[in-house]
Amino acid sequence: MKDSTVDPDSGTDGDLRSLTEISPKEIFGELRRGVLGQDAALRFVAVAIFKHVTGKVPGNLLLIGNSGTGKTTIMNNIQRLYHDVPEYRPFRAMTIINANLLVDSDRMEFRPDRLLTAAEQRARAILGPRATAEELKAAMERATVCIDEVDKMSSVVAGKPNAIGVVLQQGLLTLMEGEKVAYRTHAVVDGEEREITLDVDTRGMMFICGGAFEGLYDQVYLRVTRPGSGEKLKSHAIRTADGDVRIEQRFSLGDFLRDEDLFTYGMVPQFLARFDNIVLLQDLSVEVLKEILIRSVDSPFVRSRRYFEVLNISLEIDDLAASLIAEKAEKHTRTGARALRTIFGKIINRLEFDPWRYEGLEETGEGQYRLVVSADLVRRRLGLDAAR
Ligand SMILES: Nc1ncnc2c1ncn2[C@@H]1O[C@H](COP(=O)(O)OP(=O)(O)O)[C@@H](O)[C@H]1O
Ligand SMILES: [Mg+2]
């Protein structure tokens, strides 16, 4: 992303573009630096952000994707975008909160104040300690609110009604429609710090909800594969890193999902109706997983490389080695990119523990070393056959 040392305060208004000049395409390009393999979803996200920052049109999204496909990563990257693009300074009061924190399960009560408290903290961090009530209210009313794990707030859990889920969905849908919430806090009024009540209007907020909806995959899979369902799984050709081609029948939720499936799952129809779009994330392909492994800031390889730097060892990885790891990770469809961490950990742990005895360690002079994660090493550690 752009240089984050740019101080938005140092620019006069003349330096900043108007918000309509920052196109969805540009927003998409920025998000794509941190989120790989989810272009279709990111286009929806980019448009939603554009709508949110330019006007009064809500751009609420529901993100559905298997665990480890990038839902939380998308939310984090929206935050990064707001932070890195100086024009988006007024929108930095963004918060990512877990759905279960928005309900009090003892009292069966929706707690919008918890969401507003999180938004307020962000707003204060941006506005500074002398924020006036008006400034605070304005920043909170423009907030982007990301609610993670909404799927845990289904109205049905294990076939039984889940009342707390209904409480949450009803509460959220009211906020998304636009509600004035009386919110108690303190602020500077006439130069003095005072207790105040802000009437926070939620109409201008953007809501992005995310969830893995795990049971949904099984539910739709069963509907589709039931004899006589009239549906048919699609075949995909898969080329392995070692050169073989396999034909696999893969179930992809996106091929079959209907609104009715979400109602059956336990999403309240009126809640679903508040979203502009329901966006499905892709399961990550071997190629994308490989790219995440090699490139993403948060990847286990990149982290390990930082660790070895401390020992004056430069860590590298062979292309085939990366492919083998990605291929293995891709088989763990339930953990997505998270599987990279487990698999890479198995390979690297002994080297991190004692790199000095590894035959692949090479001295490059002046106390510097080079260590290459080779395909051989990966095969040995993962117990794979050497196919070539
Ligand atoms: N599409 C993606 N692009 C880049 N990294 C990803 C992507 N999906 C997952 N990851 C990585 O995998 C890990 C888990 O991703 P996360 O976004 O938390 O998954 P979830 O969809 O379960 O919220 C993170 O470390 C993240 O960096
Ligand atoms: Mg997550």
Residue predicted with more confidence, 59 or 279: 279
Question: In this predicted model, what pLDDT tens digit does every residue of 302-320 receive, in sequence order?
Answer: 999 999 999 999 999 999 9
Measured from the Cα of 38, ligand 1's closest atom is: 1
pLDDT reported for residue 387: 55
Residue 300 CB less than 6 A away from ligand 1: no
**The pLDDT of residue 385 is above 80:** no
**The pLDDT of residue 369 is above 80:** yes
Choose one of 73, 287, 334 to mutate for the ligand 1 pocket test, by most ligand atoms within 8 angstroms of C-beta: 73
The ligand with the least distance to the CA atom of 74 is 1
- CATH class held by domain 13-222+243-280: alpha beta
**The pLDDT of residue 14 is above 80:** no
Span 359-388, mean pLDDT?
A: 88
Ligand 1, atom 8, lies closest to the CA of: 70
DSSP one-letter string for 350-369: HHHH-GGG-TTEEEEETTEE
Query: What proportion of the chain, given as a percentage, has pLDDT over 90?
Result: 69
pLDDT reported for residue 246: 84
Taking CB atoms within 8 Å and a gap of at least 24, the contacts of 349-352 are 352/304, 352/307, 352/308
Question: In this predicted model, what pLDDT tens digit does every residue of 84-137 receive, in sequence order?
Answer: 999 999 999 999 999 999 999 889 999 999 999 999 999 999 998 888 889 999
Task: Domain ranges for the chain, please list them.
Answer: 13-222+243-280, 286-382
pLDDT range class, residue 388, cuts 50, 70, 90: very low
- CA of residue 312 to ligand 2 center, whole Å: 34
Question: In this predicted model, what pLDDT tens digit does every residue of 190-212 receive, in sequence order?
Answer: 888 889 999 999 999 999 999 99
Architecture of domain 286-382: Orthogonal Bundle (1.10)
Span 21-38, mean pLDDT?
A: 94
What distance in Å separates the CA atoms of residue 339 and residue 333, rounded to the nearest whole number? 9
Query: What proportion of the chain, given as a percentage, has pLDDT over 70?
Result: 95
Residue 332 CB less than 6 A away from ligand 1: no
What's the residue count for the chain?
A: 388
Ligand 1, atom 19, lies closest to the CA of: 68
State residue 152 phi and psi, 5-degree precision: -70, -10
Smallest Cα–Cα separation from 17: which of 86, 84, 94? 86
pLDDT reported for residue 324: 96
Q: Are 34 and 80 in contact (CB under 8 A)?
A: yes
